[in-house]
């Protein structure tokens, strides 16, 4: 006999394994859980939505109306940045209606064959809807960000797990035990949000009228780049509920790009299935220098004509929301402090290792801007007073020695001087990951370039440790995919150069949030300005 004080909830699947997973995460609530295997007469609605959230909502409402019960339904899949979010809602059928996991993976790898490692960001996404027969009660989305490997690794898991590389594990999802994967999975994160609101829904006063929804506050984060604009709806936990990227089209002028930003705000809000009034504000991460207090861009690299632009006001006028701006590197650092590797740390620094070297300083969960928004230019710390000229106008900046572009430039200089190396085969197509790979395979020229760059990077990091005495330094960007080939030498050399007591306190770790960091951090910056974080 069912306790009259317990709520029956049907999970919209016939898979009892998934039912058990949900029961484990949502244990302790007064709920009697069932699945569709207990209702053989139920006919799941056709998934005709264009987003995970829409499909989850269709299933939950349709089944709730059929069964006269509360129904929890989900939809999930893999979204790859370089493929504009594909496979997306077609993840299970990416290679056709008769697709197998192996065929789906093969198609994905074929489409990414010529995509460099730095651009292979991806995320598993899960949307969950809880519905009563009268309408939706609760919605949540969870995201797990990673990158796509160049070939499958591991025999655990299913679907795209063998090619989904998760930096915090240093392995693909198929190379770790299921329990470890499930602890960080997109579904677990979405269910965590459900768990936060479920007590309210189960209370005697829980709404039963059509269309009632209990939604956490949400913000839109925008990551503005010269080539692409990334956007996402982010809730107060830092979870991305919907993510999308569009081309910047900067050559068409400043006003056109501003219109594109406003368009993306609408696209991600609609993709998350939210009404206009369910977004509180918009945060924009932008290259600088900036005046974050006034919302101005002084100048923007890669965006001609963006001098002394009141970016916040211009976008606010177009989209109808309060808008706040933050330096893009600071935004990524804030994201890692709020919801990534640096969560809970008193003092965290982040270095972005890419074409250049950017940085951000976060103290007690807040970006340290300095006197006029110029703090955090960690890539422009001079480590050689007779060194190479830097684009910033100074000389000997660590960026001129340890960035990906300068490792490539140094390799070309070495090859031009007559050094023999397997790297000569790449010609103009040479990229940083080729250098690390060749070094790992014993190429002496490549190893020399890597060693020189990492010594310079380590010297700068040791200085940061001595100056800031941080709890953690997070390294972000394509170079970190080299894993221990990068982190091992950096930790060893930094330990040799930094004050021992300061180094012992400081962790040097990879970033966790991947390509969504800028979106999350921009949204969190807006949350903080609005008093929600």
Please write the tens of the pLDDT for every residue from 381-416: 999 989 999 988 899 999 999 999 999 999 999 999
Provide mean pLDDT across the span 62-91: 92
Q: Round to whole Å and give the CA distance between 375 and 378.
A: 8
Q: With beta carbons less than 8 A apart as the criterion, state whether 351 and 399 touch.
A: no
Mean pLDDT of the chain: 90
pLDDT for 208 beyond 80:
no
**For tokens 């903080």, what's the residue?**
528
pLDDT for 493 beyond 70:
yes
Q: Are strands 347-353 and 70-80 parallel, antiparallel or unpaired?
A: unpaired
Q: CATH: 3.30.420.40, 3.40.640.10, 2.40.50.140, 1.10.472.10. Which one for 218-333+517-530?
A: 3.30.420.40
pLDDT for 211 beyond 50:
no
Note the pLDDT of residue 286. 94
**Could you tell me what percent of the chain has a pLDDT over 70?**
97
Lowest-confidence pick of 51-60, 226-235, 392-401, 509-518 = 51-60
Domain ranges of the chain: 7-202, 218-333+517-530, 343-511
Q: Round to whole Å and give the CA distance between 354 and 357.
A: 6
Please write the tens of the pLDDT for every residue from 319-337: 999 999 999 999 999 999 9
Rg, the chain, Cα only: 24
Please write the tens of the pLDDT for every residue from 241-293: 899 999 999 999 999 999 999 999 999 999 988 888 889 999 999 988 899 98
Architecture of domain 343-511 in CATH? 2-Layer Sandwich (3.30)
What 3-state class would DSSP assign to 42? coil
Helix/strand/coil percent split, the chain, to 5: 45, 25, 35
Provide mean pLDDT across the span 346-364: 94
Would you say the CATH fold of 218-333+517-530 matches that of 7-202?
A: no
pTM score: 0.64
pLDDT for 207 beyond 80:
no
31 pLDDT tier (thresholds 50, 70, 90): very high
237 pLDDT tier (thresholds 50, 70, 90): confident
Between these two residues, 281 and 17, which has the higher pLDDT value?
Answer: 281
pLDDT for 210 beyond 60:
no
Which backbone phi and psi does 306 adopt, to 5 degrees?
Answer: -100, 60
pLDDT for 158 beyond 80:
yes
Please write the tens of the pLDDT for every residue from 299-317: 887 788 888 999 999 999 9
Provide mean pLDDT across the span 354-367: 93
pLDDT for 418 beyond 70:
yes
pLDDT for 2 beyond 70:
no
Provide mean pLDDT across the span 226-232: 93
pLDDT for 17 beyond 50:
yes
Q: Round to whole Å and give the CA distance between 471 and 316.
A: 37
Between these two residues, 211 and 295, which has the higher pLDDT value?
Answer: 295
Which backbone phi and psi does 168 adopt, to 5 degrees?
Answer: -65, -30
Q: Round to whole Å and give the CA distance between 452 and 356.
A: 16
pLDDT for 6 beyond 90:
no
pLDDT for 3 beyond 60:
no
Note the pLDDT of residue 204. 47
Architecture of domain 7-202 in CATH? Alpha-Beta Complex (3.90)
Joined together, the tokens standing for residue 69 give 């019960």
pLDDT for 521 beyond 50:
yes
205 pLDDT tier (thresholds 50, 70, 90): very low
């Amino acid at each position: 006999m069912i306790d009259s004080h317990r709520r029956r909830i049907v999970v919209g699947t016939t898979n009892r394994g998934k039912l058990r997973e949900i029961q484990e995460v949502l244990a302790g609530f007064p709920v009697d859980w069932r699945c569709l295997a207990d209702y053989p007469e139920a006919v799941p609605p056709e998934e005709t939505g264009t987003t995970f959230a829409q499909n989850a909502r269709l299933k939950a409402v349709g089944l709730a109306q059929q069964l006269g019960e509360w129904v929890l339904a989900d939809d999930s899949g893999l979204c790859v940045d370089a493929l504009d979010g594909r496979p997306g809602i077609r993840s299970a059928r990416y290679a056709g209606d008769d697709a197998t996991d192996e065929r789906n993976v093969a198609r994905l790898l074929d489409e990414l064959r010529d995509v460099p490692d730095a651009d292979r960001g991806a995320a598993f996404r899960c949307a969950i809807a809880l519905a009563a027969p009268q309408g939706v009660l609760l919605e949540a989305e969870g995201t797990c960000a990673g990158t796509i490997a160049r070939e499958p690794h591991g025999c655990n898991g299913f679907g795209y797990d063998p090619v989904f590389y998760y930096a915090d594990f240093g392995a693909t999802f198929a190379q770790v035990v299921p329990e470890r994967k499930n602890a960080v999975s997109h579904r677990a994160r979405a269910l965590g949000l459900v768990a936060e609101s479920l007590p309210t829904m189960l209370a005697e006063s829980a709404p039963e009228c059509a269309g009632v929804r209990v939604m956490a506050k949400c913000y839109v984060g925008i990551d503005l780049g010269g080539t692409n604009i990334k956007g996402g709806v982010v809730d107060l936990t830092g979870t991305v509920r919907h993510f999308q990227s569009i081309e910047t089209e900067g050559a068409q002028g400043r006003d056109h790009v501003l219109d594109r930003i406003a368009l993306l705000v609408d696209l991600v809000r609609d993709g998350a299935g939210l009404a206009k009034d369910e977004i509180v504000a918009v945060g924009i991460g932008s290259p600088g220098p900036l005046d974050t207090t006034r919302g101005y861009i002084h100048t923007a690299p890669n965006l001609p004509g963006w001098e002394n632009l009141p970016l916040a006001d211009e976008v606010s006028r177009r989209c109808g929301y309060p808008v706040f701006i933050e330096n893009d590197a600071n935004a990524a650092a804030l994201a890692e402090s709020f919801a990534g590797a640096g969560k809970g740390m008193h003092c965290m620094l982040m270095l972005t290792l890419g074409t250049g070297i950017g940085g951000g300083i976060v103290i007690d969960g807040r970006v340290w801007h300095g006197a006029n928004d110029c703090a955090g230019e960690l890539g422009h710390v001079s480590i050689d007073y007779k060194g190479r000229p830097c684009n910033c106008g100074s000389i000997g900046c660590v960026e001129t020695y340890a960035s990906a572009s300068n490792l490539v430039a140094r390799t070309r200089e070495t090859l031009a001087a007559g050094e023999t190396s397997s790297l000569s085969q790449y010609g103009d197509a040479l990229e940083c990951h080729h250098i690390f790979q060749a070094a790992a395979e014993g190429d002496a020229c490549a190893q020399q370039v890597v060693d020189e760059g990492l010594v310079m990077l380590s010297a700068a990091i040791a200085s940061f440790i001595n100056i800031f005495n941080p709890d953690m330094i997070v390294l972000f960007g394509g170079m970190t995919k080299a894993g221990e080939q990068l982190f091992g030498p950096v930790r060893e050399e930094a330990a040799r150069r930094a004050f021992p007591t300061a180094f012992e306190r400081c962790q040097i770790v990879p970033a966790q949030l991947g390509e969504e960091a800028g979106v999350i951090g921009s949204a969190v910056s807006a949350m903080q300005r609005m008093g929600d974080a």
